[in-house]
Amino acid sequence: MALAVTSSSTAISGSSFSRSGPSSDPKALQICSFRLSELSHVSQRRYSLKSLKAESHTRNDSLVTRASTLITPEVEEKEEDVEDFEQLAKKLEEASPLEIMDKALQKFGSNIAIAFSGAEDVALIEYARLTGRPFRVFSLDTGRLNPETYRLFDAVEKQYGIRIEYTFPDAVEVQALVRNKGLFSFYEDGHQECCRVRKVRPLRRALKGLKAWITGQRKDQSPGTRSEIPIVQVDPVFEGLDGGVGSLVKWNPLANVEGGDVWNFLRTMDVPVNALHAQGYVSIGCEPCTRPVLPGQHEREGRWWWEDAKAKECGLHKGNIKKEDDTTADLAPAIVHDIFESNNVVALSRGGIENLLKLGNRKEPWLVVLYAPWCPFCQAMEASYVELAEKLAVKGVKVAKFRADGDQKEFAKQELQLGSFPTILLFPKSAPRAIKYPSEHRDVDSLMSFVNLLR
């Protein structure tokens, strides 16, 4: 039995998984010695149980009693190992990212790894280094990343003396997707299918070798999907090494940290960052699905900009998105305040917008925003739209809003050219069809130029 344990320990230390720090690290030795002694202890108890059974082939009450006495402590120990991560998240709510990182690495050792792709993840690696504990880093190479992202990977490996564990999509699945639907099908029918092949399934394979993972999610990254992420949680979507629901734990050390503070930390520690950040990129993913954001835009607006802002997740953090039939979804409209509130902005009903569509000759041009009050991108342009309405009021242009989410969404897609929120339409005096504002520049001057050129 001792030989079997030694062999297992050697196999683990000689695996292909990258770790920071030498194997002689005292903390690593403590972890190993604990596990070996624990395994040895379990083996001895099992061995004594076999010896007991060997004493007699006939079943009697004394033997059953003695066997039960030996087995019961193992069951009790197993129950004590089950941790309430919801309670742990509450305890760590006021903890610093460094404290949270140290707790995660101390608790899971070599069975946890940092998911790495961007700026927040460099911060995670720096926090891991500061703990002095060994750590692992893995990343998904989708085959569609920017050249600057690959150069960041190389710089990080050299900075920290590590080897990132890269995971790649299945070549057969990628080939089938591209041959059947082309290289850019996501612009036509959504990003979910491509992300499922290139990101979600590779991630699932990677996580099956772990008991926990660490992400750079922040609550302020995406108010529509990430505003309630906890410090630590049982992963609601993926499975870990032991298999089954609840077999994987997800840590979010930066959950309560604001984006500006992350960048202050990166600059202070002088660590590598993606060169694309200097070009206006904030949230960076695959090259075809990422672009710079403009002043007044939320950072996630640079991702999948042609889609509904409420579902800007690739599937890696699918558990953040609430189901439509969730009871909280039914309550959402009651607690979300309306936006674009101004005497110069007309609130159109379904009947009002339909009448506007039918009119061939209008007395004055109309500018209408299709919006959802919960949408962070609509909220970001509220001030500029209200200011624009004040300026257009003296120019004879009507400015209006139409809430196009919920029951009105399908109608808005079919009749009002709704692609994502917000969508801005100009109804000229003479043209029968509305003209869709094509730009992401939603400042007052850009919108004013659009109206002046077409009204």
Query: Could you give the CA distance from residue 16 to residue 213 in angstroms, rounded to a whole number?
Result: 18
Burial class (CB in 10 A: 0-12, 13-18, 19+), 254: buried
Among the listed residues 195, 289, 314, 378, the single catalytic one is 378
Q: Is 375 a catalytic residue?
A: yes
Q: Is 378 a catalytic residue?
A: yes
Query: Which residue type occupies 99?
Result: E
Among the listed residues 286, 289, 314, 375, the single catalytic one is 375
Catalytic residues: 375, 378
